[in-house]
Amino acid sequence: GAVVSQHPSWVICKSGTSVKIECRSLDFQATTMFWYRQFPKQSLMLMATSNEGSKATYEQGVEKDKFLINHASLTLSTLTVTSAHPEDSSFYICSARKAGGFYSNQPQHFGDGTRLSIL
Amino acid sequence: AQTVTQSQPEMSVQEAETVTLSCTYDTSESDYYLFWYKQPPSRQMILVIRQEAYKQQNATENRFSVNFQKAAKSFSLKISDSQLGDAAMYFCAYRTTRTGANSKLTFGKGITLSVRP
């Protein structure tokens, strides 16, 4: 159980276009979802945290207008990279966590990631 | 703010041997979770092992075990009987027990483990 599906797994597009990445929790309800960016041989960098039905909380230095996050349901969050440019090329990973009360011991479940290449 | 430090960028181990990956962290909290994640070349994040700070007993999962030293804020991962499939990048991570804005994983920089046949 606790499967997170991320789609697409790889996308190549032209500079200036917008790209949407979907993250779905297939067999559980995810009240919180996380979006990470990862460069080769580096660690995961948290971009934003989203809670269902509310605005995402972005980490310092992450452009909110550039990386639009929507968490409209308990099983789906989307990341849209707007007007993408070559410097946005990276590996993007989503992660989802179930609700767990004030003290949560719920683990985070990760999607398989999306490789984004902007030409 | 919490920090997680993995000072060794790379390690190598002979197949069937044992290797220990180091991790230290800094926090002012008394209760928290610690994790080791594995990221193979497929780049999927796989949870290897998890430790609750209030538990004195070190967590074990088959060939994987941890040495959790709370006072020293150290959390090392031992891989016994190393296999070729263990070759991956390993990340140490910290998380508070509380929910809310700070309830997120803080990752170390990672260590690349290679396994020699």
**B52 touching chain A per CB within 8 A:** yes
**Whole-number pLDDT of residue B64:** 98
**Whole-number pLDDT of residue A98:** 81
**Whole-number pLDDT of residue A103:** 47
pLDDT in tens, chain A (119 residues): 779 999 999 999 999 999 999 999 998 888 889 999 999 999 999 999 988 878 899 999 999 999 999 988 889 999 999 999 999 999 999 999 886 655 466 788 999 999 999 99
Which residue from A44, A95, A102 is facing B99, i.e. has the nearest CB? Answer: A102
**Whole-number pLDDT of residue A2:** 79
Write the secondary structure of A23-74 as one string of H (helix), E (strand) and C (coil).
Answer: EEECCCCEEEEEEEEECCCCCEEEEEEEECCCCCEECCCCCCCCEEEEEEEC
Pick from A108-112, B3-7, B29-33, B98-102: least confident: B98-102
Q: How many CB atoms lie within 10 A of CB B7?
A: 10
**A32 touching chain B per CB within 8 A:** yes
**Whole-number pLDDT of residue B7:** 95
**B44 touching chain A per CB within 8 A:** yes
